[in-house]
Amino acid sequence: MILAFAWAVIRPSIIAPAAILFMGLFLDVFWGGSLGLWALALLVAYGVVLASRNMMAGQSRPMMWAWFAGVTAVAMVAGFLFTMLDSLAMPSLLAVFWQFLVTALLFPFAHRLVDRLEDADVRFR
């Protein structure tokens, strides 16, 4: 989630969606889930951030945290729906909530990455 958020906010490019796709496929293989589940969920989150990045520009840290939590919720809902469609059973809502909460609490790392990318890019100086 951190990379999908930071890449879309600061440096949208052709490479980022491909990297997110491969990262999601790696996560699916690593966790033994359905192939393409997290790749698609992360790409949905990347697309939401990419579409709304103009509204995120110049926002304060708490507001960016709210955006990150919202995009994380979108990715979790997408993963929940894709899992439900794949397995024809409903995943645990409590487990999805805890995964959302832990991921949303990782925002300081995403904010640090966004700051580092802004500092490294000469267009922002």
Per DSSP, the residues of 42-70 read: HHHHHHHHHHHHHHHTT--HHHHHHHHHH
| Side-chain-side CA neighbours of residue 53 (13 Å) | 16
Residue 117 near residue 11, CB atoms below 8 Å: yes
Residues 6+ apart with CB under 8 A from 91: 80, 83, 84
Short-list 83, 11, 80, CA closest to 46: 11
Question: What pLDDT shows up at residue 41?
Answer: 92
Question: What pLDDT shows up at residue 86?
Answer: 86
Q: Can you give the pTM of this predicted structure? A: 0.82
Distance CA 57, CA 75 (A): 21
Question: What pLDDT shows up at residue 119?
Answer: 59
Question: What pLDDT shows up at residue 120?
Answer: 56
- What is the mean pLDDT for each group of 10 consecutive residues in the chain (125 residues)? 81 84 92 88 92 84 90 93 89 91 87 70 51
